[in-house]
């Protein structure tokens, strides 16, 4: 088996890192839903603002997880590449 040149591996790792960060797209949509629904809830019941805000922050952070996984994969490809 012929080994790939290092430059090619580095180039595709950078490309792969860029693609991995695209996981953030879905996270952004999900967080938008969370924030929108929270605004609806606050508009309907302004006195529940405090508890809605803290629940929203936790929900946002949990839905952020998939985006963070993409970020971790991108960082591994850039700084701790297993293929090089």
Partner 1 sequence: MDGMESGSGTVAGQLNIEFYGYLFGFENLWLTESLRNMWIISAAMIVVAVLIRIGMSKWDPDNPTGVQNAVEAIIETFHNYVRSVMGDKYAYYGNWYFTVFFLILFSNLSGLVLLRNPTADITLTFAFSLTTFAIIHVSGIIRSKGNYFKGYLAPHPVMLPLNIIGEIAPAISLAMRLFGVVVGGLTVSVLVYNVAPWPARIGFPALIHGYFDLFSGVLHAFIFLTLSLVFIRNKLPE
| Binding footprint of partner 1, residue count (CB under 8 A) | 13
DSSP type of residue 67 = H
For the CB of residue 2, give the shortest distance to partner 1 in the complex, in Å.
27
DSSP letters spanning 16-69 = HHHHHHTHHHHHHHHHHHHHHHHHHHHHH-GGGHHHHHHHHHHHHHHHTHHHHH
Instruction: Measure CA 74 to chain center.
Output: 11
Contact with partner 1 (CB under 8 A) among 15, 25, 28, 75: 75
Is the Cβ of residue 44 or residue 56 nearer to partner 1 in the bound state?
56
Residue 65 touches partner 1, criterion: CB under 8 A? yes
Which residues in this chain contact partner 1 in the complex, by CB under 8 A? 57-58, 61-62, 64-65, 68-69, 71-72, 75, 78-79
């Amino acid at each position: 088996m012929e080994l790939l040149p290092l430059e090619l591996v580095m180039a595709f790792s950078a490309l792969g890192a860029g693609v991995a960060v695209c996981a953030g797209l879905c996270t952004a949509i999900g967080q938008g839903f969370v924030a929108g629904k929270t605004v609806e809830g606050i508009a309907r019941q302004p006195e529940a603002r405090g508890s809605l805000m803290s629940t929203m922050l936790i929900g946002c952070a949990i839905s952020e997880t998939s985006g963070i996984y993409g970020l971790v994969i991108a960082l591994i490809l850039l700084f701790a590449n297993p293929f090089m």
